[in-house]
Structure 1
Amino acid sequence: MTYTTLIAAEDLSRHVHDADWVVLDCRHDLTAPDAGRDAYESGHIPGAQFARVDEDLSDKSPGPHGEFRGRHPLPERTAFVETLRRWGVNHGTQVVAYDAQGGMFAARLWWMLRWTGHEAVAVLDGGIQSWQALGLPLATTPVSRPRGNAMPNYPLVSTVSADDVMANLTNPVYTVIDARAPDRFRGENETLDPVGGHIPGAKSRFFKDNLQADGRFKPEDQLRADFSALSIAPEKTIMQCGSGVTACHNLLAMEIAGLRGAALYPGSWSEWCSDKSRPVATGN
Protein backbone atom coordinates (compact mmCIF):
# COMPACT_ATOMS: atom_id res chain seq x y z
CA MET A 1 0.00 0.00 0.00
CA THR A 2 1.22 3.48 -0.88
CA TYR A 3 0.49 6.40 1.46
CA THR A 4 0.04 9.74 -0.30
CA THR A 5 -1.55 12.07 2.28
CA LEU A 6 -1.62 10.81 5.89
CA ILE A 7 -0.40 7.76 7.78
CA ALA A 8 -1.39 6.69 11.29
CA ALA A 9 1.22 5.91 13.91
CA GLU A 10 -0.02 2.30 14.09
CA ASP A 11 0.65 1.83 10.37
CA LEU A 12 4.05 3.50 10.52
CA SER A 13 5.10 1.27 13.41
CA ARG A 14 4.70 -1.79 11.18
CA HIS A 15 7.04 -0.38 8.52
CA VAL A 16 9.48 1.85 10.38
CA HIS A 17 12.32 -0.63 9.85
CA ASP A 18 11.48 -1.45 6.21
CA ALA A 19 14.45 -0.93 3.93
CA ASP A 20 12.62 1.26 1.43
CA TRP A 21 10.80 3.49 3.90
CA VAL A 22 12.42 6.82 4.81
CA VAL A 23 11.17 8.72 7.87
CA LEU A 24 12.04 12.40 8.26
CA ASP A 25 11.74 14.51 11.39
CA CYS A 26 10.72 18.08 10.48
CA ARG A 27 10.36 19.59 13.93
CA HIS A 28 11.07 23.31 13.95
CA ASP A 29 10.37 26.54 15.81
CA LEU A 30 10.16 29.78 13.83
CA THR A 31 11.47 31.76 16.80
CA ALA A 32 14.15 29.26 17.92
CA PRO A 33 15.94 27.76 14.89
CA ASP A 34 17.89 25.17 16.90
CA ALA A 35 14.86 23.81 18.77
CA GLY A 36 14.01 21.20 16.13
CA ARG A 37 17.49 19.70 16.03
CA ASP A 38 17.64 19.69 19.84
CA ALA A 39 14.31 17.86 20.02
CA TYR A 40 15.47 15.34 17.42
CA GLU A 41 18.65 14.58 19.34
CA SER A 42 16.66 14.15 22.56
CA GLY A 43 14.49 11.48 20.98
CA HIS A 44 13.10 10.67 17.55
CA ILE A 45 11.20 7.90 15.83
CA PRO A 46 13.65 5.03 15.24
CA GLY A 47 15.35 5.33 11.87
CA ALA A 48 14.23 8.93 11.33
CA GLN A 49 16.62 11.47 9.86
CA PHE A 50 16.41 15.17 10.58
CA ALA A 51 15.12 17.56 7.90
CA ARG A 52 16.16 21.15 8.53
CA VAL A 53 13.41 23.57 7.53
CA ASP A 54 15.83 26.50 7.17
CA GLU A 55 18.37 24.58 5.07
CA ASP A 56 17.11 21.30 3.60
CA LEU A 57 13.67 22.66 2.77
CA SER A 58 14.75 26.20 1.85
CA ASP A 59 17.41 28.10 -0.04
CA LYS A 60 17.72 31.60 1.36
CA SER A 61 19.92 32.94 -1.40
CA PRO A 62 18.53 36.01 -3.21
CA GLY A 63 16.91 35.97 -6.60
CA PRO A 64 18.80 36.49 -9.90
CA HIS A 65 18.70 40.28 -9.45
CA GLY A 66 19.47 40.26 -5.75
CA GLU A 67 15.83 40.42 -4.73
CA PHE A 68 14.55 39.01 -1.42
CA ARG A 69 12.57 35.82 -2.06
CA GLY A 70 10.94 35.43 1.36
CA ARG A 71 11.94 33.78 4.63
CA HIS A 72 11.83 30.20 3.28
CA PRO A 73 12.24 30.29 -0.52
CA LEU A 74 12.31 27.01 -2.34
CA PRO A 75 15.66 25.50 -3.35
CA GLU A 76 16.23 24.51 -6.95
CA ARG A 77 14.41 21.26 -7.71
CA THR A 78 17.64 19.53 -8.69
CA ALA A 79 19.28 20.62 -5.43
CA PHE A 80 16.38 19.24 -3.42
CA VAL A 81 16.51 15.94 -5.33
CA GLU A 82 20.16 15.72 -4.29
CA THR A 83 19.02 16.17 -0.66
CA LEU A 84 16.54 13.33 -1.16
CA ARG A 85 19.33 11.10 -2.41
CA ARG A 86 21.40 11.98 0.67
CA TRP A 87 18.46 10.82 2.81
CA GLY A 88 18.37 7.53 0.90
CA VAL A 89 15.23 8.18 -1.13
CA ASN A 90 14.80 6.04 -4.25
CA HIS A 91 12.19 6.21 -6.99
CA GLY A 92 9.78 3.90 -5.15
CA THR A 93 10.58 4.88 -1.55
CA GLN A 94 7.71 5.50 0.84
CA VAL A 95 8.57 8.74 2.64
CA VAL A 96 6.94 9.74 5.93
CA ALA A 97 7.33 13.22 7.41
CA TYR A 98 6.44 14.23 10.94
CA ASP A 99 6.78 17.09 13.39
CA ALA A 100 5.34 18.11 16.75
CA GLN A 101 3.25 21.02 15.45
CA GLY A 102 0.24 19.33 13.87
CA GLY A 103 1.96 18.90 10.51
CA MET A 104 2.87 22.58 10.22
CA PHE A 105 6.36 21.76 8.91
CA ALA A 106 5.92 18.16 7.78
CA ALA A 107 3.36 19.34 5.21
CA ARG A 108 6.07 21.48 3.57
CA LEU A 109 8.20 18.37 3.03
CA TRP A 110 5.13 16.48 1.77
CA TRP A 111 4.48 19.22 -0.79
CA MET A 112 8.13 19.44 -1.83
CA LEU A 113 8.36 15.74 -2.64
CA ARG A 114 5.25 16.08 -4.78
CA TRP A 115 6.96 19.09 -6.39
CA THR A 116 9.71 16.71 -7.53
CA GLY A 117 7.11 14.24 -8.83
CA HIS A 118 7.38 11.81 -5.91
CA GLU A 119 3.89 10.63 -4.95
CA ALA A 120 4.64 8.12 -2.16
CA VAL A 121 4.92 10.62 0.68
CA ALA A 122 2.68 11.05 3.71
CA VAL A 123 2.50 13.06 6.92
CA LEU A 124 2.27 11.26 10.25
CA ASP A 125 -1.22 12.16 11.46
CA GLY A 126 -0.95 13.61 14.96
CA GLY A 127 2.83 13.95 14.73
CA ILE A 128 5.32 12.47 17.14
CA GLN A 129 2.72 12.86 19.89
CA SER A 130 0.59 10.15 18.26
CA TRP A 131 3.63 7.86 18.21
CA GLN A 132 4.33 8.46 21.88
CA ALA A 133 0.66 8.06 22.81
CA LEU A 134 0.94 4.42 21.71
CA GLY A 135 3.93 3.89 23.98
CA LEU A 136 6.19 3.35 20.99
CA PRO A 137 9.93 3.84 21.53
CA LEU A 138 12.11 6.80 20.63
CA ALA A 139 15.75 6.60 19.60
CA THR A 140 18.73 8.90 20.08
CA THR A 141 21.29 7.15 17.90
CA PRO A 142 22.47 8.81 14.66
CA VAL A 143 20.93 7.48 11.45
CA SER A 144 22.82 6.71 8.26
CA ARG A 145 21.33 5.28 5.08
CA PRO A 146 22.77 4.24 1.70
CA ARG A 147 22.60 6.98 -0.89
CA GLY A 148 19.38 6.96 -2.88
CA ASN A 149 18.77 7.32 -6.60
CA ALA A 150 15.74 9.65 -6.62
CA MET A 151 15.20 11.47 -9.89
CA PRO A 152 13.10 14.56 -10.66
CA ASN A 153 9.87 13.76 -12.41
CA TYR A 154 6.96 15.84 -13.68
CA PRO A 155 5.68 17.98 -10.77
CA LEU A 156 2.43 16.89 -9.14
CA VAL A 157 1.87 20.43 -7.82
CA SER A 158 2.10 23.97 -9.18
CA THR A 159 3.47 27.33 -8.07
CA VAL A 160 2.86 30.99 -8.83
CA SER A 161 5.18 33.98 -8.53
CA ALA A 162 4.73 37.40 -6.97
CA ASP A 163 4.19 38.76 -10.48
CA ASP A 164 1.38 36.25 -11.02
CA VAL A 165 -0.29 37.33 -7.78
CA MET A 166 0.10 41.00 -8.71
CA ALA A 167 -1.45 40.39 -12.13
CA ASN A 168 -4.35 38.64 -10.43
CA LEU A 169 -5.20 41.86 -8.57
CA THR A 170 -6.12 43.64 -11.81
CA ASN A 171 -7.56 40.59 -13.54
CA PRO A 172 -8.92 38.44 -10.68
CA VAL A 173 -9.09 34.82 -11.76
CA TYR A 174 -7.68 33.17 -8.63
CA THR A 175 -8.65 33.37 -4.97
CA VAL A 176 -5.76 33.75 -2.53
CA ILE A 177 -6.08 31.80 0.74
CA ASP A 178 -3.86 32.88 3.65
CA ALA A 179 -2.89 30.18 6.19
CA ARG A 180 -1.55 32.53 8.87
CA ALA A 181 -3.24 33.09 12.21
CA PRO A 182 -6.10 35.62 12.11
CA ASP A 183 -4.16 38.31 14.00
CA ARG A 184 -1.35 38.09 11.44
CA PHE A 185 -3.85 38.22 8.58
CA ARG A 186 -5.35 41.39 10.06
CA GLY A 187 -1.92 42.95 10.53
CA GLU A 188 -1.80 42.82 14.33
CA ASN A 189 1.30 40.66 14.97
CA GLU A 190 4.45 42.73 14.55
CA THR A 191 6.68 40.00 15.99
CA LEU A 192 6.25 37.62 13.05
CA ASP A 193 5.13 40.18 10.47
CA PRO A 194 6.92 43.55 10.80
CA VAL A 195 4.79 44.69 7.87
CA GLY A 196 1.29 43.66 8.87
CA GLY A 197 -1.68 42.77 6.73
CA HIS A 198 -2.48 40.58 3.76
CA ILE A 199 -2.70 40.54 -0.02
CA PRO A 200 -5.79 42.50 -1.08
CA GLY A 201 -8.75 40.23 -1.73
CA ALA A 202 -7.25 37.27 0.14
CA LYS A 203 -9.36 35.06 2.38
CA SER A 204 -8.22 33.69 5.74
CA ARG A 205 -8.00 29.95 6.47
CA PHE A 206 -5.83 29.38 9.53
CA PHE A 207 -3.98 26.10 9.06
CA LYS A 208 -4.88 24.93 12.56
CA ASP A 209 -8.55 24.90 11.49
CA ASN A 210 -7.67 21.73 9.58
CA LEU A 211 -7.07 19.88 12.84
CA GLN A 212 -9.16 18.23 15.51
CA ALA A 213 -8.59 18.84 19.21
CA ASP A 214 -6.23 15.85 19.41
CA GLY A 215 -3.92 17.30 16.74
CA ARG A 216 -5.05 14.93 13.98
CA PHE A 217 -6.56 16.10 10.72
CA LYS A 218 -10.31 16.45 10.49
CA PRO A 219 -12.13 13.75 8.48
CA GLU A 220 -12.29 14.08 4.72
CA ASP A 221 -15.93 15.14 4.57
CA GLN A 222 -15.48 17.83 7.21
CA LEU A 223 -12.46 19.29 5.44
CA ARG A 224 -14.38 19.29 2.17
CA ALA A 225 -17.24 21.18 3.82
CA ASP A 226 -14.85 23.69 5.39
CA PHE A 227 -13.13 24.54 2.13
CA SER A 228 -16.39 24.52 0.19
CA ALA A 229 -17.62 27.22 2.57
CA LEU A 230 -14.89 29.49 1.19
CA SER A 231 -16.59 29.33 -2.23
CA ILE A 232 -13.40 28.50 -4.10
CA ALA A 233 -12.57 26.36 -7.12
CA PRO A 234 -9.41 24.39 -6.23
CA GLU A 235 -7.79 24.87 -9.62
CA LYS A 236 -8.39 28.64 -9.29
CA THR A 237 -6.91 28.96 -5.82
CA ILE A 238 -3.51 30.23 -4.61
CA MET A 239 -2.31 29.15 -1.17
CA GLN A 240 0.04 31.40 0.78
CA CYS A 241 1.14 32.10 4.36
CA GLY A 242 4.11 33.86 5.94
CA SER A 243 6.85 32.12 3.97
CA GLY A 244 5.36 29.24 1.97
CA VAL A 245 5.48 26.68 4.78
CA THR A 246 2.09 26.50 6.52
CA ALA A 247 0.30 27.13 3.23
CA CYS A 248 1.28 23.54 2.44
CA HIS A 249 -0.86 22.43 5.38
CA ASN A 250 -3.93 23.83 3.62
CA LEU A 251 -2.81 22.14 0.40
CA LEU A 252 -2.52 18.82 2.22
CA ALA A 253 -5.95 19.29 3.80
CA MET A 254 -7.46 19.98 0.38
CA GLU A 255 -5.76 16.88 -1.04
CA ILE A 256 -7.27 14.80 1.79
CA ALA A 257 -10.66 16.31 0.93
CA GLY A 258 -10.28 15.43 -2.75
CA LEU A 259 -10.03 19.10 -3.72
CA ARG A 260 -6.97 19.10 -5.97
CA GLY A 261 -5.30 21.67 -8.16
CA ALA A 262 -4.53 24.67 -5.93
CA ALA A 263 -1.15 26.37 -6.40
CA LEU A 264 1.42 27.51 -3.86
CA TYR A 265 2.87 31.01 -3.76
CA PRO A 266 6.27 30.05 -2.26
CA GLY A 267 7.46 33.56 -1.38
CA SER A 268 4.17 34.32 0.37
CA TRP A 269 3.72 37.31 2.67
CA SER A 270 7.39 37.73 3.61
CA GLU A 271 8.32 38.19 -0.05
CA TRP A 272 5.20 40.17 -0.96
CA CYS A 273 5.58 42.84 1.73
CA SER A 274 9.32 43.30 1.08
CA ASP A 275 8.46 45.37 -2.00
CA LYS A 276 6.72 48.60 -0.94
CA SER A 277 5.16 48.95 -4.39
CA ARG A 278 2.91 45.95 -3.72
CA PRO A 279 -0.45 46.79 -2.13
CA VAL A 280 -1.32 45.70 1.39
CA ALA A 281 -4.72 45.28 3.05
CA THR A 282 -5.41 45.15 6.79
CA GLY A 283 -8.30 44.12 9.01
CA ASN A 284 -10.79 41.44 8.03
Structure 2
Amino acid sequence: MYATLISAQQLAALSDKTTVVVDCRHDLMDGQAGKNAYDAGHIPGAVFANLDTDLSGSKHNADGVFAGRHPLPNTDDLLAVLRRLGINQDTQVIAYDAHGGMFAARLWWLLRSIGHASVAVLDGGIAAWISAGQTLQTEVASHVVGNIQVKDSLTTQVNVQTVLQNLQATADVQLQVIDARAADRFRGENETIDPVGGHIPGAKNRFFKDNLQADGRFKSAQELRQEWQALFTDPTKAIMQCGSGVTACHNLLALEVAGLGGAALYPGSWSEWCSDASRPVATGTV
Protein backbone atom coordinates (compact mmCIF):
# COMPACT_ATOMS: atom_id res chain seq x y z
CA MET A 1 0.00 0.00 0.00
CA TYR A 2 1.18 3.49 -0.87
CA ALA A 3 -0.08 6.07 1.61
CA THR A 4 1.99 9.21 1.00
CA LEU A 5 4.14 9.31 -2.14
CA ILE A 6 4.83 7.01 -5.06
CA SER A 7 7.60 7.39 -7.65
CA ALA A 8 7.03 7.27 -11.39
CA GLN A 9 8.99 4.01 -11.54
CA GLN A 10 6.83 2.46 -8.82
CA LEU A 11 3.64 3.57 -10.54
CA ALA A 12 4.80 2.16 -13.88
CA ALA A 13 5.44 -1.19 -12.18
CA LEU A 14 1.95 -1.42 -10.70
CA SER A 15 -0.13 -4.02 -12.49
CA ASP A 16 -2.85 -4.38 -9.87
CA LYS A 17 -6.23 -3.84 -11.48
CA THR A 18 -7.51 -2.28 -8.26
CA THR A 19 -5.36 0.82 -8.85
CA VAL A 20 -7.10 4.04 -9.97
CA VAL A 21 -4.95 6.95 -11.18
CA VAL A 22 -6.56 10.40 -10.93
CA ASP A 23 -5.40 13.44 -12.89
CA CYS A 24 -5.87 16.51 -10.66
CA ARG A 25 -4.27 19.16 -12.84
CA HIS A 26 -5.77 22.62 -12.42
CA ASP A 27 -5.16 26.32 -12.88
CA LEU A 28 -6.61 28.70 -10.29
CA MET A 29 -6.98 31.36 -12.97
CA ASP A 30 -8.53 29.05 -15.60
CA GLY A 31 -10.95 26.38 -14.42
CA GLN A 32 -10.86 24.53 -17.77
CA ALA A 33 -7.07 24.29 -18.00
CA GLY A 34 -6.84 21.00 -16.12
CA LYS A 35 -9.38 19.19 -18.31
CA ASN A 36 -7.77 20.63 -21.42
CA ALA A 37 -4.41 19.30 -20.29
CA TYR A 38 -5.96 15.90 -19.54
CA ASP A 39 -7.50 15.76 -23.01
CA ALA A 40 -4.16 16.66 -24.59
CA GLY A 41 -2.38 13.78 -22.87
CA HIS A 42 -2.53 11.97 -19.54
CA ILE A 43 -1.10 8.94 -17.79
CA PRO A 44 -2.64 5.82 -19.38
CA GLY A 45 -5.84 4.78 -17.61
CA ALA A 46 -6.08 7.97 -15.57
CA VAL A 47 -9.44 9.57 -14.88
CA PHE A 48 -9.91 13.30 -14.32
CA ALA A 49 -11.11 15.16 -11.21
CA ASN A 50 -11.83 18.89 -11.29
CA LEU A 51 -10.84 20.89 -8.22
CA ASP A 52 -13.77 23.30 -8.50
CA THR A 53 -16.60 20.85 -9.23
CA ASP A 54 -15.40 17.48 -7.91
CA LEU A 55 -13.08 18.22 -5.01
CA SER A 56 -14.82 21.29 -3.56
CA GLY A 57 -18.26 22.10 -2.24
CA SER A 58 -20.55 25.13 -2.22
CA LYS A 59 -18.87 28.45 -1.49
CA HIS A 60 -21.66 29.32 0.95
CA ASN A 61 -22.95 27.53 4.02
CA ALA A 62 -26.62 26.64 4.39
CA ASP A 63 -27.16 29.98 6.15
CA GLY A 64 -25.67 31.85 3.18
CA VAL A 65 -22.41 32.77 4.91
CA PHE A 66 -19.32 32.63 2.68
CA ALA A 67 -17.21 29.55 3.47
CA GLY A 68 -14.19 30.23 1.27
CA ARG A 69 -13.16 29.72 -2.35
CA HIS A 70 -12.77 25.93 -2.14
CA PRO A 71 -14.78 24.56 0.81
CA LEU A 72 -14.77 20.83 1.38
CA PRO A 73 -17.51 18.91 -0.46
CA ASN A 74 -20.15 17.31 1.72
CA THR A 75 -19.68 13.60 2.30
CA ASP A 76 -22.47 12.39 0.01
CA ASP A 77 -21.22 14.49 -2.89
CA LEU A 78 -17.64 13.36 -2.31
CA LEU A 79 -18.66 9.71 -2.26
CA ALA A 80 -20.58 10.15 -5.51
CA VAL A 81 -17.49 11.63 -7.19
CA LEU A 82 -15.13 8.95 -5.86
CA ARG A 83 -17.46 6.16 -6.93
CA ARG A 84 -17.82 7.71 -10.39
CA LEU A 85 -14.03 7.65 -10.64
CA GLY A 86 -14.15 3.90 -9.97
CA ILE A 87 -12.79 3.89 -6.42
CA ASN A 88 -13.67 0.90 -4.24
CA GLN A 89 -12.95 -0.01 -0.64
CA ASP A 90 -9.73 -1.80 -1.66
CA THR A 91 -8.58 0.63 -4.37
CA GLN A 92 -5.05 1.98 -4.40
CA VAL A 93 -5.54 5.57 -5.53
CA ILE A 94 -2.71 7.55 -7.14
CA ALA A 95 -3.25 11.30 -7.57
CA TYR A 96 -1.06 13.50 -9.74
CA ASP A 97 -0.85 16.99 -11.19
CA ALA A 98 1.72 19.22 -12.90
CA HIS A 99 2.28 21.55 -9.94
CA GLY A 100 4.40 19.70 -7.41
CA GLY A 101 1.38 18.01 -5.88
CA MET A 102 -0.47 21.17 -4.83
CA PHE A 103 -3.79 19.93 -6.25
CA ALA A 104 -3.20 16.18 -6.00
CA ALA A 105 -2.67 16.58 -2.25
CA ARG A 106 -6.27 17.82 -1.95
CA LEU A 107 -7.59 14.48 -3.22
CA TRP A 108 -5.09 12.68 -0.97
CA TRP A 109 -6.47 14.53 2.06
CA LEU A 110 -10.12 14.10 1.07
CA LEU A 111 -9.75 10.33 0.77
CA ARG A 112 -8.02 10.17 4.13
CA SER A 113 -10.80 12.29 5.61
CA ILE A 114 -13.23 9.42 4.95
CA GLY A 115 -10.81 6.80 6.19
CA HIS A 116 -9.26 5.61 2.91
CA ALA A 117 -5.55 5.12 3.61
CA SER A 118 -4.49 3.64 0.25
CA VAL A 119 -3.91 6.92 -1.53
CA ALA A 120 -0.61 8.46 -2.63
CA VAL A 121 0.59 11.42 -4.66
CA LEU A 122 2.85 10.85 -7.67
CA ASP A 123 6.15 12.39 -6.60
CA GLY A 124 7.15 14.93 -9.24
CA GLY A 125 3.81 14.67 -11.02
CA ILE A 126 3.37 14.16 -14.74
CA ALA A 127 6.82 15.63 -15.43
CA ALA A 128 8.42 12.80 -13.45
CA TRP A 129 6.32 10.29 -15.38
CA ILE A 130 7.52 11.67 -18.71
CA SER A 131 11.13 11.94 -17.50
CA ALA A 132 10.98 8.25 -16.59
CA GLY A 133 10.33 7.47 -20.26
CA GLN A 134 6.65 6.69 -19.83
CA THR A 135 4.00 7.50 -22.41
CA LEU A 136 0.77 9.48 -22.32
CA GLN A 137 -2.59 8.73 -23.90
CA THR A 138 -5.46 10.91 -25.08
CA GLU A 139 -8.26 8.36 -24.78
CA VAL A 140 -10.71 9.21 -22.01
CA ALA A 141 -10.49 6.49 -19.38
CA SER A 142 -13.43 5.12 -17.45
CA HIS A 143 -14.07 2.64 -14.67
CA VAL A 144 -16.99 0.67 -13.36
CA VAL A 145 -18.74 2.68 -10.64
CA GLY A 146 -16.99 2.09 -7.34
CA ASN A 147 -18.33 1.17 -3.91
CA ILE A 148 -16.15 3.18 -1.54
CA GLN A 149 -17.73 3.81 1.87
CA VAL A 150 -16.97 6.12 4.76
CA LYS A 151 -14.71 4.73 7.48
CA ASP A 152 -13.11 6.34 10.51
CA SER A 153 -11.37 9.53 9.45
CA LEU A 154 -7.60 9.68 9.29
CA THR A 155 -7.57 13.49 9.39
CA THR A 156 -8.42 16.38 11.69
CA GLN A 157 -9.99 19.69 10.74
CA VAL A 158 -10.98 22.88 12.53
CA ASN A 159 -13.47 25.61 11.67
CA VAL A 160 -13.18 29.37 11.72
CA GLN A 161 -14.59 29.58 15.26
CA THR A 162 -11.81 27.34 16.56
CA VAL A 163 -9.16 29.46 14.82
CA LEU A 164 -10.69 32.64 16.22
CA GLN A 165 -10.90 31.22 19.75
CA ASN A 166 -7.29 30.11 19.44
CA LEU A 167 -6.21 33.76 19.27
CA GLN A 168 -7.51 34.26 22.79
CA ALA A 169 -5.96 31.06 24.14
CA THR A 170 -3.11 31.20 26.62
CA ALA A 171 0.35 30.36 25.37
CA ASP A 172 0.39 26.86 26.90
CA VAL A 173 -2.74 25.72 25.02
CA GLN A 174 -2.46 27.80 21.83
CA LEU A 175 -2.35 26.07 18.46
CA GLN A 176 0.24 27.15 15.90
CA VAL A 177 -1.23 28.23 12.56
CA ILE A 178 0.96 27.59 9.49
CA ASP A 179 0.13 29.41 6.25
CA ALA A 180 1.09 27.66 2.97
CA ARG A 181 0.78 30.72 0.72
CA ALA A 182 3.68 32.45 -0.98
CA ALA A 183 5.52 35.01 1.16
CA ASP A 184 4.15 38.06 -0.66
CA ARG A 185 0.57 36.90 -0.07
CA PHE A 186 1.34 36.14 3.57
CA ARG A 187 2.73 39.64 4.03
CA GLY A 188 -0.31 41.19 2.34
CA GLU A 189 1.49 42.40 -0.77
CA ASN A 190 -0.41 40.57 -3.54
CA GLU A 191 -3.74 42.29 -4.06
CA THR A 192 -4.30 40.50 -7.38
CA ILE A 193 -4.85 37.18 -5.62
CA ASP A 194 -5.81 38.42 -2.14
CA PRO A 195 -7.81 41.68 -2.32
CA VAL A 196 -7.71 41.66 1.47
CA GLY A 197 -4.04 41.06 2.21
CA GLY A 198 -2.28 39.69 5.24
CA HIS A 199 -2.50 36.67 7.49
CA ILE A 200 -4.06 35.39 10.69
CA PRO A 201 -2.25 36.97 13.67
CA GLY A 202 0.38 34.66 15.11
CA ALA A 203 0.58 32.49 11.99
CA LYS A 204 3.91 31.36 10.57
CA ASN A 205 4.65 31.06 6.86
CA ARG A 206 5.71 27.80 5.19
CA PHE A 207 5.24 28.10 1.42
CA PHE A 208 4.18 24.70 0.11
CA LYS A 209 6.94 24.75 -2.52
CA ASP A 210 9.47 24.72 0.32
CA ASN A 211 8.59 21.02 0.69
CA LEU A 212 10.05 20.33 -2.75
CA GLN A 213 13.44 19.87 -4.34
CA ALA A 214 14.43 21.80 -7.45
CA ASP A 215 13.14 18.98 -9.66
CA GLY A 216 9.64 19.20 -8.17
CA ARG A 217 9.90 16.07 -6.07
CA PHE A 218 9.53 16.08 -2.30
CA LYS A 219 12.55 16.53 -0.08
CA SER A 220 13.65 13.56 2.01
CA ALA A 221 11.76 12.67 5.16
CA GLN A 222 14.76 13.67 7.27
CA GLU A 223 15.12 17.08 5.63
CA LEU A 224 11.40 17.78 5.91
CA ARG A 225 11.40 16.75 9.56
CA GLN A 226 14.26 19.11 10.40
CA GLU A 227 12.64 22.04 8.61
CA TRP A 228 9.18 21.50 10.05
CA GLN A 229 10.38 20.98 13.61
CA ALA A 230 11.78 24.51 13.48
CA LEU A 231 8.17 25.74 13.30
CA PHE A 232 6.58 23.71 16.09
CA THR A 233 7.33 20.80 18.40
CA ASP A 234 3.98 19.00 18.44
CA PRO A 235 2.14 18.53 15.11
CA THR A 236 -1.10 17.74 16.96
CA LYS A 237 -1.06 21.36 18.12
CA ALA A 238 -0.70 22.81 14.62
CA ILE A 239 -3.25 24.07 12.08
CA MET A 240 -2.49 24.13 8.36
CA GLN A 241 -4.14 26.78 6.19
CA CYS A 242 -3.55 28.62 2.91
CA GLY A 243 -5.70 30.70 0.56
CA SER A 244 -8.62 28.30 0.27
CA GLY A 245 -7.69 25.04 1.98
CA VAL A 246 -6.01 23.41 -1.03
CA THR A 247 -2.25 23.92 -0.77
CA ALA A 248 -2.49 23.49 3.00
CA CYS A 249 -3.03 19.81 2.16
CA HIS A 250 0.42 19.81 0.56
CA ASN A 251 1.92 20.82 3.90
CA LEU A 252 -0.09 18.08 5.59
CA LEU A 253 1.26 15.55 3.10
CA ALA A 254 4.81 16.77 3.74
CA LEU A 255 4.26 16.32 7.46
CA GLU A 256 3.11 12.73 6.91
CA VAL A 257 6.19 12.06 4.78
CA ALA A 258 8.29 13.50 7.62
CA GLY A 259 6.63 11.26 10.19
CA LEU A 260 4.96 14.25 11.85
CA GLY A 261 1.29 13.43 11.34
CA GLY A 262 -1.57 14.81 13.39
CA ALA A 263 -1.88 18.45 12.30
CA ALA A 264 -5.33 19.85 11.50
CA LEU A 265 -6.62 21.48 8.32
CA TYR A 266 -8.52 24.76 8.41
CA PRO A 267 -10.52 24.29 5.17
CA GLY A 268 -11.90 27.83 4.87
CA SER A 269 -8.42 29.30 5.22
CA TRP A 270 -7.63 32.91 4.33
CA SER A 271 -10.48 33.34 1.83
CA GLU A 272 -13.02 32.59 4.55
CA TRP A 273 -11.13 34.36 7.33
CA CYS A 274 -10.80 37.71 5.55
CA SER A 275 -14.43 37.73 4.35
CA ASP A 276 -15.50 39.04 7.79
CA ALA A 277 -13.94 42.42 8.58
CA SER A 278 -14.39 41.82 12.32
CA ARG A 279 -11.68 39.14 12.29
CA PRO A 280 -8.18 40.44 13.03
CA VAL A 281 -5.57 40.63 10.28
CA ALA A 282 -1.80 40.95 10.48
CA THR A 283 0.60 42.04 7.74
CA GLY A 284 4.33 41.92 7.19
CA THR A 285 6.57 39.15 8.50
CA VAL A 286 6.37 37.30 11.81
Quote how far apart the aligned CAs of 1:18 are: 3.2
Separation in 1, partners of 2:239, 2:272:
15
Amino acid at match of 2:220: P
Question: What's the counterpart of residue 114 of structure 1?
Answer: 112
Distance, in Å, in 1 between the alignment partners of 2:247 and 2:275 is: 19
Which position in structure 2 is the counterpart of 1:212? 213
Aligned to 1:9: 8
Counterpart residue number, 2:274: 273
- Quote the RMSD (CA, aligned, Å): 0.8
Runs (5+) with no aligned partner, structure 1? none
Structure-2 residue corresponding to 1:245? 246
TM-score, scaled to structure 2: 0.97
TM-aligned CA deviation for residue 60 of structure 1: 2.4
CA distance in 2, matches of 1:48, 1:110: 15
Shift of 1:78: 2.3
The residue that corresponds to 1:178 in the other structure is 179
Equivalent residue in structure 1 for 2:18, among 20, 25, 34: 20
* 3-state secondary structure, aligned to 1:170: coil
> How much has 1:33 moved relative to structure 2?
1.2
Identity value in percent? 61
Find the counterpart in structure 2 of residue 262 from structure 1.
263
| Kept in 2: contact 1:234–1:262 (CA 8 A) | yes
Moved over 2 A (4+): none
- Given residue 13 of structure 1, which amino acid in structure 2 is its aligned partner? A
Count of residue pairs the alignment pairs up: 282
Q: Distance in 2 between matches of 1:36 and 1:82?
A: 20
Distance 1:232 1:164 in 2: 20
1:41 aligns with 2:39: yes
Task: Decide whether the 8 Å contact of 1:78 with 1:152 is kept in 2.
Answer: no
Q: Whole-Å Cα distance in 2 between the matches of residues 232 and 196 of structure 1?
A: 28
Partner residue, 1:53: 51
Structure 2 unmatched ranges of 5 or more: none
Separation in structure 2 between the aligned mates of residue 244 and residue 124 of structure 1, nearest angstrom:
20
AA aligned to 2:9 is E
**1:66: how far off?**
0.3
Q: Which residue in the other structure is 1:154 paired with?
A: 152
Partners of 1:232 and 1:213 lie apart in 2 by: 27
Distance in 1 between the 2:103 and 2:191 partners?
A: 22
Shift of 1:61: 4.1
CA distance in 2, matches of 1:49, 1:231: 38
Within 1, Cα distance between the matches of 2:46 and 2:277?
Answer: 42
- SS of equivalent to 2:245: coil
Q: Distance in 2 between matches of 1:165 and 1:232?
A: 19
Which one-letter code corresponds to 2:257 in the other structure? Answer: I
Q: Distance in 2 between matches of 1:107 and 1:232?
A: 23
Amino acid at match of 1:210: N
Alignment TM-score, normalising by the size of structure 1? 0.98
Choose from 70, 73, 95 the match for 1:72.
70
| CA contact 1:81–1:116 (8 Å) conserved in 2 | no
List per-residue Cα deviations over 1:151-193 (Å, max 9, x = no partner): 0111100110000000000015200000000000000001110
For 1:231 and 1:137, the matched residues in 2 are separated by: 42
- Following superposition, the deviation at residue 150 of structure 1 comes to 0.2
For the residues of structure 1 that align with 2:230 and 2:154, how far apart are their CA atoms? 25
1:230 aligns with 2:231: yes
1:187 to 1:232, Cα distance in 2 relative to 1, 3 A: farther
Paired residue secondary structure (1:159): coil
